[in-house]
């Protein structure tokens, strides 16, 4: 019975909120009478820039990158430098770490049994 009461109250709350939102939408439409925004007119999905526009955008991005000092990608760019050698750990070092971890887990497990 109590669950039904909560659902009923939630439904009343949702209906009240919907009424508030509809009133707010009406107020906005009254304030801006020429506003007709449908999801299709707002969405950019499906709209593509022309080839000329894309070329202009690429040129602007390249110019901005050059101004900021970033390297240009492509065959003209030189490698940044030699890669740093990865550090490795010895077998003895790995064994010490494994032993320490096993000791930690043994201590944790011993504490749980009590």
The residues, any chain, with a CB within 8 Å of residue 72's CB and separated by 6 or more, are: 62, 65, 66
Among all chains, which residue has been given the structure tokens 């709209």? 47
22 within some domain: yes
Quote the tokens at residue 39.
């999801």
Residue 25 lies in a domain: yes
pLDDT score of 23: 96
* Phi, psi for residue 33 in degrees, rounded to 5: -65, -30
* pLDDT tens figures, 2-40: 667 888 899 999 999 999 999 999 999 899 888 776 655
In a domain, 31, yes or no: yes
Within a domain: 10: yes
Q: Is residue 50 part of a domain?
A: no
pLDDT for 49: 84
- Model confidence, pTM: 0.31
Instruction: Please give the pLDDT value at position 98.
Output: 97
Domain annotation covers residue 6: yes
- What confidence tens digit (pLDDT) does each residue in 58-109 have? 999 999 888 887 665 555 555 667 888 888 999 999 999 999 999 999 999 9
Helix intervals (H) in the chain: 2-31, 39-42, 51-68, 91-113
């Amino acid at each position: 019975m109590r669950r039904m009461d909560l659902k009923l109250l939630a439904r009343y709350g949702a209906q009240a909120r919907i009424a508030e939102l509809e009133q707010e939408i009406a107020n906005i439409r009254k304030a801006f009478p020429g506003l007709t925004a449908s999801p299709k007119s707002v969405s950019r999905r499906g709209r593509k820039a022309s080839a000329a526009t894309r070329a202009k955008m690429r040129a602007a991005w390249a110019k901005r990158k050059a101004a900021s000092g970033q390297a240009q990608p492509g065959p003209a760019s030189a490698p940044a430098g030699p890669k740093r050698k990865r550090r490795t750990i010895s077998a003895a070092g790995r064994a010490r770490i494994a032993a320490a971890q096993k000791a930690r887990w043994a201590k944790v497990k011993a504490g749980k049994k009590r």
